Amino acid sequence: MHYLTAVEMLELLRTRQVSAVELLDAHLRRIEEANPTVNAIVTLVAERALDEAKAADRDLARGIWRGPLHGLPVAHKDLTDTAGIRTTYGSRLFADHVPERDALIVRRMREAGAITIGKTNTPEFGTGSHTVNEVFGATRNPYDLSCSAGGSSGGAAAALACGMVPLADGSDMGGSLRNPASFCNVVGLRPTPGRVPSPTPTAAWFTLGVSGPMARTVEDLTLLMSVVAGFDATSPLSIAESGAVFTEPLDLLDLTGLRIAWSPDLGGLPVDAETAKATADAPAVLAGLGAHVERVDLDLSDAEDAFRTYRAWYYLLSFGDLPQEELGENVRWNVERGRAVTGADLARAERLRSGLYQRMSAFFDAYDFLLAPVSQVPPFPVDAPYVSEINGEALPDYLAWMRSAYWISVLHAPAASVPCGFTWNGLPVGVQIVGRPFADLRVLRLAHAFERATGHGSRRPAL
């Protein structure tokens, strides 16, 4: 039962073929079976979830359907506040922290009837695309336990891949929804900033970091988007459009004549040979569905300086007041770079990003979508702190291997990670579908068509 889609589970619940308690029990058994080796769920609230499942069944017996996620067990990223449930942010400074309030995305999922089953692992404050921290250790890739699950939503991706939950939330600044989805053969959407409001008292106008959904299928991903998207006045960037738009059918996109730009290296980035091979068939898949696919040479290099400058400024703003000696190396490194950022640096970053946005606006007048690898590498050894070289080219720091994801983050555009194939030794590889800003539903529709045409996402880990 744990590998059914969320949509299938909901139909069984609605027709009373399965109870919420039975569904929860199936997932708890799967967690007991797989989590000791994968380490995806780091805080489990089984008794609380059981009470909520019993309440969901009582409502069903009275003909009450709470909402689109009624009775579904879900997990929340350990960066996301959950009232009464330990939330550590992957930091030993907050190892025993229990928030008093739910984050907005959690509240929306719970109001839609979802049952919180626990929290998923993340690196410290979501720093980096490898899920490991000093509180809980590393999350391992279900397709090969010796490899990374990606990050920073690596716990969510691994839990989904193993059937521990059908839906999970994540977040993405430099690829934290997309990279782990690619590494674990699931799907994730980096929405247009403001599509899923993320209220914050410290960085309300910061657009590089977004919250978003993760699932095993695009249909399930869209279901979760219908719940978590929508205007909220506490977020100044919130898009004034209801999440109900994501209840519209996914098969309405006519691919005939659709103009798709294919960039296998996003303008000269090094790409591992196995990743290049796995993603090389993606253009032919979409061409076979009627689209016109053209290889393009992009220049997104201005995104490098813009991303790093804004990111450094954000880390100083968010974590500069914490005791630095208690923070991990990567967080300290980012804070130190934040202290070096000047007003001139921010002005240059703003100018670079504004120019890039205008050039990409013209690009999306010529093309409907951009297609590219999610990550430049397949899953790497879990004991490695990060990828230090690609194709023999040494990388300067722990961020550099994530450029294919974080350059896209700068574009203010929705991007979906969809399974695209496997390496020779069975490691998953994803492709990202990028659309014009605010065209989130169109991106999901193309991702759905690609998913159905390939079937790569139906391959489960042997674990």
Concatenated DSSP letters for 317-341?
A: HHHTTS-GGGS-HHHHHHHHHHHH-
User: In angstroms, rounded to a whole number, what is the distance separating the alpha carbons of residues 112 and 5?
Assistant: 17
Q: Where are the alpha helices (DSSP H) in 203-328?
A: 218-228, 273-279, 282-288, 302-319
User: In angstroms, rounded to a whole number, what is the distance separating the alpha carbons of residues 190 and 212?
Assistant: 6
> Among 173, 192, 188, which Cα is nearest to 224's?
188
Length in residues, the chain? 463
**pLDDT at site 259:** 98
Of the candidates 19, 129, 153, 176, the residue annotated as catalytic is 176
Q: How many CA atoms lie within 13 A of 422 on its CB side?
A: 17
> Among 266, 263, 349, which Cα is nearest to 301's?
266
Of the candidates 19, 77, 148, 375, the residue annotated as catalytic is 77
**pLDDT at site 265:** 97
Please indicate whether residue 176 is annotated as part of the active site: yes
Please indicate whether residue 152 is annotated as part of the active site: yes
**pLDDT at site 202:** 92
The DSSP 8-state label assigned to residue 402 in this structure reads G
pLDDT in tens, the chain (463 residues): 999 999 999 999 999 999 999 999 999 999 999 999 999 999 999 999 999 999 999 999 999 999 999 999 999 999 999 999 999 999 999 999 999 999 999 999 999 999 999 999 999 999 999 999 999 999 999 999 999 999 999 999 999 999 999 999 999 999 999 999 999 999 999 999 999 999 999 999 999 999 999 999 999 999 999 999 999 999 999 999 999 999 999 999 999 999 999 999 999 999 999 999 999 999 999 999 999 999 999 999 999 999 999 999 999 999 999 999 999 999 999 999 999 999 999 999 999 999 999 999 999 999 999 999 999 999 999 999 999 999 999 999 999 999 999 999 999 999 999 999 999 999 999 999 999 999 999 999 999 999 999 999 999 999 9
Of the candidates 19, 91, 148, 152, the residue annotated as catalytic is 152
CA of residue 298 relative to chain centroid, distance: 24
**pLDDT at site 112:** 98
Please indicate whether residue 77 is annotated as part of the active site: yes
pTM above 0.75, yes or no: yes
- 3 state SS of 27: helix
**pLDDT at site 215:** 98
